[in-house]
Structure formats: C-alpha cells, structure tokens
C-alpha cells in the first residue's frame, strides 16, 4: 500500500489490468525505444526480460494482457509492439496533465518530461508565487493557482502532479479533484484524502531512501 509507488484507488477497483503490469508495459516500451534506436527489428521475450530485470515468462504474460502475439522464430515485432503498448497505455486521444508547484522538483519534472511522449503532455503548471506565474517555465505556461479550475477544464486535464510543500498538498489535491482530475502523482510526504475513483500514486523520496538504506545494510558483506 505504498512503495514510493504501487499506487491505488480509494476502493475496490474492478477486474482490469493490474498496476504492476501497467508499470511494466511502460517500462517495456521505454526499452523497446532503445532497441529501435539501435536498429533492432525483433526481440525475444528473454531479451526483454533481461533488460527489464524480469523473467521471460513474465514478459510473455504481460504481453498476453494486451493481446500481442509474437512469432516463435522471430520473437516480437518491435514496431508493432510499441504501437500496441501505445494503444493500450495512451488510449485513442491525447491526454493532458498539469503540474502544481514550480519549485526545483517541479522544474526538474517539466524539463525531464518535455516532449517525451506524443500522447501525454504536461500542458500547464501552477504556482502561488506571482514571480513564477503568467510566463512559461521550461516551455510550459505557468498560471496562478486561482486559475486552476478554469484551466483544468479548458485544457481537458485529467492527471495532476503535486510538487508543492506538504502543508499545501491536501489543498491542492482538493482543488484538482474538484476540477475533475482523476489521477494524481503526489510527491509530498502526505497521505492525501481523495474522492473514490481517483487514482493516487505517491512518491515519497524519504521513504524510498530509507528503504534503500535499510536493504543496503542487510548486505554488509
């Protein structure tokens, strides 16, 4: 029920693809892009597995989930697989996301994500500091918080990224949910209360670092 990820709904979701499989599909696509850039045409499940630190059987199961088939002799067609994962993950229409909190972390994410996915873009940033608003940050227009509801509706934004300090995170989450957002990525070390049906992915850097430090200590040799 956490992990700087794992993610979850408020309540029992119905029988859809599990978050773990969705995460791995996203990973596979990234790896496939790499392979494509190296000029590869086909890939075997065991190759993808090696790159993803998984097993061949798991790769095959995951691809089964999106109904993609390979050939026993050639493996999977990379181009087709990329498209198939794309259809599954991205859906038919482009999706828009908003980022709230244009501090160091927010800027890092804007920079990093810029132009990375054609079907998923961060189209708006918000901040409460007037020095940051009403201009573009890393090519992304930054609005004052007051405009959030309006912009979210106008731009058809369905996913929000929260990079504000802990004290403001719940308030921001409320604003986003009330404006109609249905997925959140929360970097604040706060457990957000959200309406049922909103998917929340928490990333708490302290937690992740503690975990890494704990397991680092378990192998002192």
Partner DNA sequence: CAATACCTGTGAAACAATTCACAACATGAC
Partner DNA sequence: GTCATGTTGTGAATTGTTTCACAGGTATTG
Using CB distances below 5 to 8 A depending on partner kind, what does residue 18 bind out of a copy of itself, DNA, none?
A: DNA
Edge-first strand listing for the sheet containing 135-137: 135-137, 140-144, 120-127, 95-100, 157-162, 183-186, 199-202
**Contacting a copy of itself within 5-64 (CB under 8 A):** 5-10, 13, 16, 19-20, 22-24, 26-27, 30-31, 51-54, 58
CB-based contact 5:205 (threshold 8 Å): no
Whole-number Å distance between alpha carbons of 56 and 74: 15
Q: Which of 105, 137, 149, 179 binds a copy of itself (CB under 8 A)?
A: 105
For the CB of residue 73, give the shortest distance to a copy of itself in the complex, in Å: 26
Contacts of 115 (CB under 8 A, 6+ apart): 121
Whole-number Å distance between alpha carbons of 151 and 159: 13
Task: Count Cβ atoms below 10 Å from residue 40 Cβ, excluding itself.
Answer: 13
Task: Closer to DNA by CB, 18 or 111: give it.
Answer: 18
Residue in 192, 115, 129 with CA at minimum distance from that of residue 161:
192
Task: Closer to a copy of itself by CB, 137 or 149: give it.
Answer: 137
* 138 φψ region: left (φ > 0), alpha (ψ -120 to 50), beta (else): left
Using CB distances below 5 to 8 A depending on partner kind, what does residue 73 bind out of DNA, a copy of itself, none?
A: DNA
**Contacting a copy of itself within 154-173 (CB under 8 A):** 158-159, 161
Using CB distances below 5 to 8 A depending on partner kind, what does residue 129 bind out of a copy of itself, DNA, none?
A: none
For the CB of residue 130, give the shortest distance to a copy of itself in the complex, in Å: 21
CA dihedral 136, 141, 144, 148 (to 10 degrees): -170
Using CB distances below 5 to 8 A depending on partner kind, what does residue 136 bind out of a copy of itself, DNA, none?
A: none
Using CB distances below 5 to 8 A depending on partner kind, what does residue 80 bind out of DNA, a copy of itself, none?
A: none
CB-based contact 185:207 (threshold 8 Å): no
Residues that bind DNA (CB under 7 A): 1, 18-21, 44-46, 54-58, 60-61, 63-64, 68-76
Binding to a copy of itself by residue 139, rule CB under 8 A?
A: no
Using CB distances below 5 to 8 A depending on partner kind, what does residue 72 bind out of DNA, a copy of itself, none?
A: DNA
């Amino acid at each position: 029920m956490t992990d700087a990820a794992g993610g979850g709904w408020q309540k029992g979701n119905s029988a859809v693809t599990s978050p773990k499989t969705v995460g791995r599909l996203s990973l596979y696509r990234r790896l496939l892009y790499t392979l494509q850039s190296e000029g590869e045409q086909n890939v075997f499940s065991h190759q993808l597995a090696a790159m993803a630190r998984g097993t061949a059987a798991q790769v095959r199961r995951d691809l089964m989930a999106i109904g993609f088939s390979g050939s026993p002799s050639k493996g999977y067609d990379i181009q087709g697989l990329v498209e198939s994962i794309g259809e599954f993950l991205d859906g038919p229409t482009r999706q828009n996301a908003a980022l709230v909190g244009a501090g160091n972390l927010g800027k890092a994410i804007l920079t990093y994500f810029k132009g990375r996915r054609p079907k998923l873009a961060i189209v708006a940033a918000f901040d409460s500091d007037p020095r940051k608003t009403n201009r573009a940050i890393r090519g992304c227009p930054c609005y004052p918080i007051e405009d959030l509801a309006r912009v979210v509706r106008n731009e058809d934004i369905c996913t929000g990224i929260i990079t504000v300090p802990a004290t403001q995170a719940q308030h921001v989450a409320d604003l986003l949910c009330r404006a109609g957002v249905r997925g959140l990525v929360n970097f604040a070390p706060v457990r957000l209360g959200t309406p049922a049906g909103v998917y929340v992915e928490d990333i708490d850097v302290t937690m992740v670092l503690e975990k890494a430090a704990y397991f680092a200590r378990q192998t002192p040799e």
